[in-house]
């Protein structure tokens, strides 16, 4: 049997040094679990999961890990999912010959049935410094993907206890009593025909892996002969589906999704320029079937980090959405044990380290390439697009709530606080435009070389487009789409502005102004179908230069100012936060008139969103899920409070201006404080 030396930090950080002979092999040479399918004796197709379990107990010595036990061929239960190697960035699968001996380990399949109830859970107590109660599937791998059976203690509540049925229509459900509060039962009324149809379509889109639900496909149009990548599970697209299931009290699929995508996270930093950076989450994954010998096949999860996408752009927003969904799962279900797991905490820190890494940029906003978010084609958003900054701010606020406080995370929490403070000031001060600010820009002086310059980014007044001067209302404003030296993208990007409201990236006054602008420009931003992804469209020579003559992003179509119904649930969440339920209800009623008859399209075209998109996929899952989430939020507005953030006044007291070290004038927080409505 191979021996293996392991040096690992006590905090189980991903910087462990593992000495092993195989780059992507599982620890101790045990391969990951796979889902096999084959022909039973009676000729019927059967499936079973082969799971090679190694019990490893972490002793109190932080520099020594011992492992012992036997490995058995066990049929994986429906409530479990497999475990795989410590670091990988490709297809998660490994062939294994059942009944053979590998690395001195004898696999005895006939004994598997005796050990079906062998625990593979990670059981930790909050703030407990020793790891004597940690049992990890597959050796000492700190990233178990098993959806474990959790024994009840003072910090963990059985999942079975969360399965409650409400028969009394007037029974009030508290949001503070753990998993028992997870199930939201709409017993007060019958579902309408459109809601029944939507729920059926959403359930039909569910993807299973080894018999367990792990997500929903992007689109499930039975008449679509060229699916492209719409048959995959996208992290971004699954968020409204996850919220719909959570609000209905069905959290299993969300938990499985969070754990599976965590296993697909890139855990290895390599010098290969086509390998994802450490901590990057994939844009999507697909369950593939791989044939084996003997009329058998196995299911594998194949992630896409952008190497198959149009433009080959890595997804920046996937990790941010994953963090946001992780918090939403805990808030709605009360199952905070999931985010306290060692593997989840480690994956969370890896995403944060990737986002908070110092670079050449001078701004607190994230520098990203074009096509790295929901707008995944060239649309001139390279640089510091608002959508990424708003999601980044939201993910940082989520992480600050979920990170386990210890000696290893204190530095990271301090870095998060500093970044939150700097980012909020940067966006509120420099991205915001209203009638007053536009008039200031119109009178800017240029070529100001000074630390106290008014025109810090050397913006030329001639950049103000003519459409904006006529379009901006007297009351209302918004955050511009992008800001770079000598460049302001004055387009209105809906997703970034909505999440600026949801996360309180904007001040209360700014948040109100954004909704005032949407109301004032309802015909332009909503029209016949909510909501425009951006406004206005790029046309003529500007379209040709900026999009590269993209035939899909023609003016008023797709990402170039098309109307996307999935934005409805995010608009609803923003409206509920600001007490504008009337606007949300108006948009929901408008969408409800057409979505079902139009067969739930992905997007709509033309200036007013009157026509179904020329290349729009039908039965688009996040259109369906967005509608259902909207309906449930409107019926249970108290649930919306679990998904948004209020103003954090402590951030206004933090100044992280680096110029103060050189004796120069310290940047003022007064401008930001003066806009807060207390």
> Is there a domain that residue 594 lies in?
yes
DSSP string, 142-206: S-------PPP-SS---GGGG------TT----SSSGGGG-----TTSPPPHHHHHHHHHHHHTE
Q: Is 241 contained in some domain?
A: no
Q: How many domains does the chain have?
A: 1
| Beta carbons of 639 and 619 less than 8 angstroms apart | no
Residue 6 lies inside a defined structural domain of this protein: no
Q: Is residue 581 part of a domain?
A: yes
Encode pLDDT of 613-643 as tens digits. Answer: 999 999 999 999 999 999 999 999 999 999 9
Confidence of residue 372 (pLDDT cuts 50, 70, 90): very high
CATH number at residue 384: 1.50.10
pLDDT tens figures, 113-141: 333 233 333 333 333 333 233 223 333 23
d(CA 439, CA 430): 14
Per-residue pLDDT at 269 = 57
Residues 6+ apart with CB under 8 A from 317: 236, 372, 373, 374, 387, 388, 391
pLDDT of residue 48: 42
Q: Is 507 helix (H, G, I), strand (E, B) or coil?
A: coil
Give the pLDDT mean for 510-520.
98
- Which of these ranges, 309-313, 592-596, 671-675, has the smallest mean pLDDT? 671-675
Residue numbers of the domain that contains 359: 326-658
Q: Has residue 617 been placed in a domain?
A: yes
Residue 611 counted as domain residue: yes
Q: Would you state the pLDDT for residue 394?
A: 98
- Residues 6 or more apart whose Cβ sits within 8 Å of residue 61: none
In a domain, 458, yes or no: yes
Distance CA 632, CA 370 (A): 34
pLDDT tier at 28 (50, 70, 90 boundaries)?
Answer: very low
Task: Count the Cβ atoms, other than its own, within 10 Å of residue 660.
Answer: 12
Instruction: Provide the pLDDT for residue 490.
Output: 98
The first and second tokens of residue 643, run together, are: 């998904």
pLDDT tier at 501 (50, 70, 90 boundaries)?
very high
Q: What is the mean pLDDT of the chain?
A: 77
Strand, coil or helix: 346? helix
Query: Mean pLDDT throughout 175-185?
Result: 42
CB atoms within 10 A of CB 98: 12
Per-residue pLDDT tens for 218-228? Answer: 999 998 888 89
Between 671 and 579, the more confident residue is: 579
Dump pLDDT digits (tens) for 92-114: 443 433 333 333 333 333 333 33
Residue 262 has a pLDDT of 95
**Per-residue model confidence (pLDDT) at position 655:** 63
Return the residue matching tokens 């606080």: 417
Least confident stretch, 253-262, 384-393, 450-459: 450-459
**Which residue, among 347, 159, 163, has the nearest Cα to 255 in the 3D structure?**
159
- Residue 16 in domain: no
- Residue 176 pLDDT > 90, yes or no? no
Diameter of the chain by CA atoms?
84
DSSP-derived secondary structure for 400-442: HHHSPPSTTTHHHHHHHHHHHHHHHHHHHHHTEEEHHHHHHHH
State residue 75's pLDDT score. 34
Average pLDDT over residues 68-81: 35
Q: For residue 345, is pLDDT > 60?
A: yes
pLDDT reported for residue 81: 37
Q: What are phi and psi of 491, to 5 degrees?
A: -65, 145
Residue 313 has pLDDT above 50, yes or no: yes
At residue 466's C-alpha, the angle toward residues 462 and 472, to 5°, is: 115
Which of the two residues, 163 and 588, has the higher pLDDT score?
588
């Amino acid at each position: 049997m191979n021996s293996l030396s392991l040096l690992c930090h006590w905090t189980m950080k991903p910087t462990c040094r593992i000495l092993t002979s195989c780059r992507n092999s599982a620890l101790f040479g045990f391969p990951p679990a796979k889902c096999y399918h084959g022909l039973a004796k009676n000729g019927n197709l059967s499936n079973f999961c082969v799971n090679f379990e190694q019990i490893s107990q972490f002793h109190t010595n932080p520099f020594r890990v011992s492992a012992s036990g036997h490995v058995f061929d066990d049929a994986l239960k429906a409530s479990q999912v497999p475990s795989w190697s410590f670091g990988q960035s490709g297809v998660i699968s490994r062939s294994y010959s059942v009944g053979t001996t590998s690395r001195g380990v004898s696999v005895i399949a006939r004994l598997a049935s005796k050990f079906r109830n062998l625990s593979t859970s990670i059981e930790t107590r909050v703030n407990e410094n020793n790891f004597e109660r940690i049992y990890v599937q597959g050796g000492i791998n700190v990233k178990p993907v098993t959806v474990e059976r959790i024994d009840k203690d003072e910090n963990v509540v059985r999942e079975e206890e969360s399965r409650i049925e409400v028969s009394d229509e007037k029974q009030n459900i508290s949001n503070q009593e753990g998993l028992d509060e997870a199930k939201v039962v709409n017993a007060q009324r019958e579902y309408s025909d459109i809601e029944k149809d939507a729920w059926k379509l959403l359930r039909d889109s569910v993807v299973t892996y080894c018999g367990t639900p792990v997500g929903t496909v992007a689109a499930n149009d039975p008449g679509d002969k060229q699916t492209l990548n719409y048959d995959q599970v996208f992290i971004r697209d699954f968020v409204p589906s996850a919220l719909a299931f959570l609000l209905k009290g069905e959290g299993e699929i969300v938990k499985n999704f969070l754990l599976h995508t965590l296993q697909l996270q890139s855990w290895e930093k390599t010098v290969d320029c086509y390998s994802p950076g450490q901590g990057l989450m994939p844009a999507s994954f697909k369950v593939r079937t791989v044939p084996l010998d003997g009329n058998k096949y196995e299911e594998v999860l194949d992630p896409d980090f952008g190497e198959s996408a149009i433009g080959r752009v890595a997804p920046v927003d996937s990790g941010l959405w994953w963090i946001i969904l992780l918090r939403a799962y805990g808030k709605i279900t009360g199952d905070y044990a999931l985010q306290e797991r060692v593997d989840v905490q480690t994956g969370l820190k890896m995403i944060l380290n990737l986002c908070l890494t110092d670079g050449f940029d001078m701004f607190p906003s994230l520098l990203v390439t074009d096509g790295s978010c929901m707008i995944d084609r060239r649309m001139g958003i390279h640089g510091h697009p608002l959508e990424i900054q708003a999601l980044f701010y939201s993910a940082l606020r989520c992480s600050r709530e979920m990170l386990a406080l210890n000696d290893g995370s204190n530095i990271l929490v301090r870095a998060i606080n500093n970044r939150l403070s700097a980012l909020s000031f940067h966006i509120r001060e420099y991205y915001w435009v209203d009638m007053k600010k536009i008039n200031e820009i119109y009178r800017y002086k240029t070529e100001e070389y000074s630390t106290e310059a008014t025109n810090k980014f050397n913006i030329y007044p001639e950049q103000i487009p003519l459409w904006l001067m006529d379009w901006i209302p007297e009351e209302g404003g918004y955050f511009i789409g992008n800001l770079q030296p000598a460049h302001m993208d004055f387009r209105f990007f809906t997703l970034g502005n909505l999440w600026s409201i949801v996360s309180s990236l904007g001040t209360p006054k700014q948040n109100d102004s954004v909704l005032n602008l949407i109301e004032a420009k309802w015909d332009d931003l909503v029209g016949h179908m909510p909501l425009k992804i951006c406004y206005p469209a790029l046309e003529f020579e500007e379209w040709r230069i900026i999009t590269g003559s993209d035939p899909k992003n023609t003016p008023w179509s797709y990402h170039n100012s098309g109307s996307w119904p999935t934005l409805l649930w995010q608009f609803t969440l923003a409206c509920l936060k600001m007490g504008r339920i009337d606007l949300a209800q108006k948009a929901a009623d408008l969408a409800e008139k057409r979505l079902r008859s139009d067969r739930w399209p992905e997007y709509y075209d033309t200036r007013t969103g009157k026509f179904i998109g020329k290349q729009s996929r039908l039965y688009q899952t996040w259109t369906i899920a967005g509608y259902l989430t909207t309906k449930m939020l409107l019926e249970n507005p108290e649930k919306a409070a679990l998904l948004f953030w209020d103003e954090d006044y402590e951030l206004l007291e933090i100044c992280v201006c680096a110029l103060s070290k050189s004796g120069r004038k310290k940047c003022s927080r007064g401008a930001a404080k003066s806009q807060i409505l207390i």
